[in-house]
Chains A and B, each alone.
Chain A
Amino acid sequence: MTLSALVSVFFGIVGLLATEPLATFGGFARSVPSAGLGEFLAASYLGYGVMNWFARDTRDPVARRAIAFGNLTGWSLSLVLALTDILAGGARTFGWPTVILCTVFTAGWGYFATQRARAHARLRVGDAAG
């Protein structure tokens, strides 16, 4: 969670402060809509970073599961989109690194989401039995 928070904050801050250099480095054509959307995306990553950082030590099983599933949703969909873009011939500087990053975090959050779902299910069974 801490690692995910740091990665999200890094991309969030860099994306917000240096949208155009980042886009140019990534091989994106400069356009006003892409720069604006890039800033929205950076802001949302920053929010993920803040959320994961503050919630990293929580013991609340519902919150842990929710945050794991929320992050899994974002990362896994991003993985599909990045991969589809590469397969469609839109490979850029960030293409494969993005896919690798998304794969790592999808796998990580997928693992935690599964673990937390199982723990939550055990807790519910325990409550029902008790």
Chain B
Amino acid sequence: MSRSTFASIAALISLVNAVPALIAPAAIASLYGVSVDAQTLLIAQLLAAAYLGYAVIAWTTRDTTETAVRRGIDAGNALPWGVSAVIWIYVASTGMTNAVGWFAAGLTVVFALGWAYFLIVDRSSESGVVAITPRV
């Protein structure tokens, strides 16, 4: 899968997660079997706002060719997806959510690995650039 396709899917997933959580956070929380108070709803909406920003960045930079930017975006996505994967696995395994929590855990693992893969690919393609100088 090309980086462009992967970034497009990641943008779509961020959007699909963000919009409902922004509009109806309580309904999304109940989907995961979690009951939340007003303060937690605010944090959930702030998180959704951040995910919308991620969606915009991933979508609009999906075809960028500048390696430094790609590396920054790869790292900037791999890190939160990776941390989220750890939190989701902990939350799901300790029974804080219902079975839907495992779906979210799986999703975050897949995207953490995907962004980490493209980070490695972009790093190696950057270090593989060799300056060609004319022979004297």
Residues on A lying within 8 angstroms of B by beta carbon are 16, 28-29, 31-34, 36-41, 43-55, 57-60, 62-63, 65-67, 69-75, 77-78, 81-82, 85, 90
Contacts and interface: CB of A to CB of B under 8 A. Distances in A.
A48 B87 contact: no
A31 B37 contact: yes
Interface string B103-136: 0000000000000000000000000000000000
Contacts of B60: 62, 65-66, 69-70
Q: Is the interface of B mostly helix, strand, loop or mixed?
A: helix
Interface string B44-59: 1111111111101100
Which has the most chain B C-beta neighbours within 10 Å: A34, A46, A53, A63?
Answer: A63
Given A47-B54, A54-B71, A40 B84 contact: yes
A62 B61 contact: yes
20 contacts: A36-B91, A36-B96, A37-B40, A39-B87, A40-B84, A41-B50, A47-B77, A47-B79, A48-B76, A50-B79, A52-B76, A58-B69, A62-B60, A62-B61, A62-B63, A69-B56, A70-B57, A75-B53, A90-B38, A90-B39
Contact of B57 (A53, A67, A75): A67
A102 to B, nearest CB: 10
B43 A37 contact: yes
A73 B49 contact: yes
The 7 closest A-B pairs by CB, nearest first: A54-B72, A51-B76, A74-B53, A70-B57, A66-B60, A77-B49, A47-B80
Nearest to B29: A33
A69 B51 CA distance: 13
B31 to A, nearest CB: 13
Contact of B66 (A34, A36, A60, A85): A60
Given A32-B96, A43-B84, A66-B61, A50 B69 contact: no
Contacts of A36: 87, 91, 96
Nearest to B35: A33
Contacts of B42: 81, 85, 90
B34 interface: yes
A44 B11 CA distance: 14
A37 B50 CA distance: 12
A74 B36 CA distance: 23
Contacts of B39: 28-29, 31, 34, 90
A34 B43 CA distance: 7
Given A36-B96, A47-B77, 13 more contacts: A29-B39, A31-B37, A44-B80, A46-B79, A46-B83, A54-B69, A59-B66, A69-B60, A71-B53, A72-B53, A74-B53, A75-B53, A85-B42
